[in-house]
Amino acid sequence: MRGLLYLCCWLVISGEIYAQVPESRIINGTLASVADTKHMVSIRLKKNDRNFGSGHICGGSLIGPNKVLTAAHCLFNSSKKRYRKASEFVVVMGTLNRFERNNGTIVSEVSSIAYMNTFTTESMRDDVGVMFLRTGLPINSSHPTVAPIQLATEPTPSGVTCQVSGWGRTSQSSLSNVLLTANVTTIRHKTCSTIYLGSLLPGMLCAGQLKGGTDSCQGDSGGPLVYDGRVIGVVSWGYGCAEAGLPGVYADVHYYHQWIEERNGNSALTAPSLTHLLSLWFGCAFWLWLRRK
């Protein structure tokens, strides 16, 4: 009983420290290979990317020529408590070093975004989103360093080794310049529920190493967890990073695959812009004026 009390105190205190000094890292990763990470994209805020590479906020996975899978929380501006506009982002793919831009690098504007509208930052429930690119992968031509990855078609077994990749924080407590990959093991939902008590919801998948030391972290969010050549998870949250007994939590791609597949970028739910509405209004007014008696 006493032990449990100490554990709770420790969790709360270290949580407070973590909240103030984000101590995070794709921890214990190795340099990624192009062959294994052609689907990896860097999601950036345009306003911070004037120095190419410095606007990186999240990872994502190319899942179609123009379609990127990421986390809903990557699309959310938590200080303004609203989702960002598609025009605030730029997506970069095809280079391992996020500051490098060469013949293989694709830099794309974002035409639209979609997110599960049940996502909340408090619960991290349904942390899934997609982005549609203006300049995606050229059709009918193979690209040396960019290729989409397929979604998981079956639930992932527990106890299997997967790879998580990203430009997220390293042990130096800053973002990584180069893409890193780490091996993590999937953990049974039931086991992980006892670790995270009420916080582990359906649609969440845990992976890590129970001894700690290897994990995804801040800046890796939205990025892929890959098993058997398919994306099975989206980096979402965790209690700190790489702490022993506290695995990373991922949005379960198989759980959300129908929603992800159904998004197609021409959502009828997209609000018409003010300029569209105004031009429609003036058009009608002009037509009526022409037809006046």
DSSP 8-state secondary structure symbol assigned to residue 20: H
Cβ closer to ligand 4AZ: 42 or 145? Answer: 42
Query: 218, 232, 252, 260: which one contacts ligand 4AZ (CB under 6 A)?
Result: 218
126 is catalytic: no
Which value, to the nearest 10 degrees, does the dihedral of the CA atoms of residues 285, 290, 292, 293 take? 180
Catalytic: which of 61, 108, 221, 236? 221
189 is catalytic: no
The H or E element spanning position 284 is helix 274-290
Size of the site for ligand 4AZ (CB under 6 A): 11
Q: Is 70 in the site for ligand 4AZ (CB under 6 A)?
A: no
Q: Return d(Cα 178, Cα 175) in angstroms, integer.
A: 9
Cβ closer to ligand 4AZ: 75 or 106? Answer: 75
DSSP 8-state secondary structure symbol assigned to residue 274: H
Q: Return d(Cα 240, Cα 232) in angstroms, integer.
A: 22
Binding to ligand 4AZ (CB under 6 A) within 225-244 occurs at 235, 237-238, 241
DSSP 8-state secondary structure symbol assigned to residue 81: T
Q: Is 217 in the site for ligand 4AZ (CB under 6 A)?
A: yes
Catalytic: which of 42, 56, 61, 127? 127
Binding piece for ligand 4AZ, criterion CB under 6 A, among 13-21, 39-47, 131-139, 213-221 = 213-221
Smallest CA-to-CA distance from 113 within 139, 89, 147, 78 is with 89
Tokens of 129: 């989103």
- Nearest residue relative to ligand 4AZ (C-beta): 238
Shortest reach from residue 279's CB to ligand 4AZ, in Å? 41
Q: What sign does the CA torsion over 137, 37, 54, 221 have?
A: positive
127 is catalytic: yes
Q: Is 215 in the site for ligand 4AZ (CB under 6 A)?
A: yes
Strands 248-252 and 204-208: antiparallel
Longest dimension (CA), the chain: 89
Q: Which residues contact 118 (CB under 8 A, 6 or more apart)?
A: 125, 126
Q: Return d(Cα 133, Cα 62) in angstroms, integer.
A: 10
Binding to ligand 4AZ (CB under 6 A) within 32-51 occurs at none
The three-point CA angle 248-85-274 to 5° equals 155
The H or E element spanning position 67 is strand 67-70
Q: Is 256 in the site for ligand 4AZ (CB under 6 A)?
A: no
Q: Is 167 in the site for ligand 4AZ (CB under 6 A)?
A: no
Shortest reach from residue 135's CB to ligand 4AZ, in Å? 27
Q: Is 221 in the site for ligand 4AZ (CB under 6 A)?
A: yes
Q: Is 248 in the site for ligand 4AZ (CB under 6 A)?
A: yes
Query: 216, 223, 225, 230: which one contacts ligand 4AZ (CB under 6 A)?
Result: 216
Q: Is 224 in the site for ligand 4AZ (CB under 6 A)?
A: no
Q: Return d(Cα 71, Cα 119) in angstroms, integer.
A: 10
Q: Is 165 in the site for ligand 4AZ (CB under 6 A)?
A: no
Shortest reach from residue 58's CB to ligand 4AZ, in Å? 8
Give the binding site for ligand 4AZ (CB under 6 A). Answer: 215-218, 220-221, 235, 237-238, 241, 248
Active-site residue list? 73, 127, 221
